[in-house]
Amino acid sequence: MSKERYLITSESVTEGHPDKLADQISDGVLDAIIEQEPMGRVACETLVSTGLVVVTGEISTSVYVDIPKIVRNTIKDVGYTRAKYGFDGDTCAVITAIDEQSPDIARGVDKALEVRESELADEDIERIGAGDQGMMIGYACNETEELMPAPISLAHKLARKLSQIRKDLVLPYLRPDGKSQVTLEYDGIKPVRVDTVVISTQHHPAVDESQIEADITEHVIRPMLPEALLDGKPKIFVNPTGRFVLGGPQADSGLTGRKIIVDTYGGVVPHGGGAFSGKDPTKVDRSAAYMARYAAKNIVAAGIADRCQIQVAYAIGVANPVSIMVETYGTGKISDSKITELVRKHFDFRPAAIIRDLELRHPQFRRIASYGHMGRIDLTPAPKWEDTDRADAIRKDAASA
């Protein structure tokens, strides 16, 4: 492992960012459907622009949900409640264009290849095939309490704090759109210093630039920066363009799935490429990425690696993954091949098993559509994939490996 010093940067965005607004609408539709019909098939995409929301995708369900109402309530919950904010949940146009899931795809999801080509009984755990091909990445490291990379963890905390002080009216001139970015200096695999912090926040047009900088530094940045990482004076940029009045969908269109690095590990490790929001758990883009995070987190929590990346890949309509690969970047206490064996032993990556083990058939997705899908121990209850309940068993098996 390199002992040289280097910089790593990650960003986050608030729930008022147009892409995150789209994610929340898509996951709001998903939650509403699986609350009534847990087996519903949902692939919901949302586009937001000036005064307009378009909801499209493939949904197969026997229940009725009021999509325009979900859209408007989500927009208002985020804070776009007045036309002068550039977007208003009561007055924006809402267009829906929904089809059913393709029967060719449904055929492989309803009955996996393993069942279709065998004489075995149609067991539930084998029945569901992967909803698509592709690879998914899970990751964990021991840099933070939640076993996430420190740059993305800190960026999310800053973005959440920015949103909190807006909602609590600590700074009443703030508006919903905003971003954070954090650059940390590393020494080898250890973060040692905050190098740069960037906060961009939408605001009332009458507020002075210097006041915004002072207020954001006092109420957002300083309370969130860990003392242990304040070796020297970090560079701080607040609204570096000098003005951020036009924001949200008025200033920039938003689309479901366009913040996949924000949703995961902040660019510290590769990304499989598939987005999460708006997809029911038969879509392995979502469910297998959660399972890979669950496995990687338990490996690190077991103390057998400081960093653990797991790649899993699928063929559409096939239950068993075509590959599972573990990479510990030289931090493993046992070989990566042995850790791969432990992952295969302790975690079942077939879609039906993932859905069962991570309890994915109940509504919980809109709440994680902002501020990251991974590391969310700030939520009550935390998502199941943040549990470390298998670490003890993995540790014992590793000791005898």
- Each residue's pLDDT tens digit, 222-251: 999 999 899 888 999 999 999 999 999 999
Asked whether 394 and 368 are in contact (CB, 8 A), the reply is no
Q: What is the DSSP code (8-state) at residue 217?
A: I
Nearest 10 degrees: Cα torsion 158, 161, 166, 169: -140
| Tokens 């209850």 sit on residue | 381
Q: pLDDT band for 109, please (50, 70, 90 cuts).
A: low
- Phi and psi at residue 21, in whole multiples of 5°? -60, -45
Kindly give the residue spans of alpha helices, DSSP state H, lying in 317-383: 336-346, 351-357
Q: What local confidence, expressed as pLDDT, does residue 1 receive?
A: 47
Asked whether 12 and 152 are in contact (CB, 8 A), the reply is yes
| Tokens 């924001």 sit on residue | 247
- Each residue's pLDDT tens digit, 366-398: 999 999 999 999 999 999 999 999 999 999 999
Q: What is the DSSP code (8-state) at residue 100?
A: P
Cα 24 to Cα 257: distance, rounded to the nearest angstrom:
10
Residue 120 has pLDDT above 60, yes or no: no
Cα 319 to Cα 282: distance, rounded to the nearest angstrom:
10
Give me the chain's average pLDDT, please. Answer: 93
Q: What is the mean pLDDT of residues 277-288?
A: 96
Q: What is the mean pLDDT of residues 204-215?
A: 96
- Within 8 A by CB and 6+ apart from 367, the residues are 379
CA–chain centroid gap for 168, Å, is 25
Reduced to 3 DSSP states, what percent helix, strand and coil does the chain have, rounded to the nearest 5?
Answer: 35, 25, 40
- Each residue's pLDDT tens digit, 350-370: 999 999 999 999 999 999 999
Q: What local confidence, expressed as pLDDT, does residue 207 receive?
A: 96
Q: pLDDT band for 322, please (50, 70, 90 cuts).
A: very high
Asked whether 276 and 263 are in contact (CB, 8 A), the reply is yes
Residue 331, both tokens: 């931090």
| Burial of 389: CB neighbours in 10 Å, binned 0-12, 13-18, 19+ | exposed
Using DSSP, state whether 303 is helix, strand or coil: coil
* Count of CA atoms in the C-beta half-sphere (13 A) of 120: 14
- Each residue's pLDDT tens digit, 52-72: 999 999 999 899 999 999 999
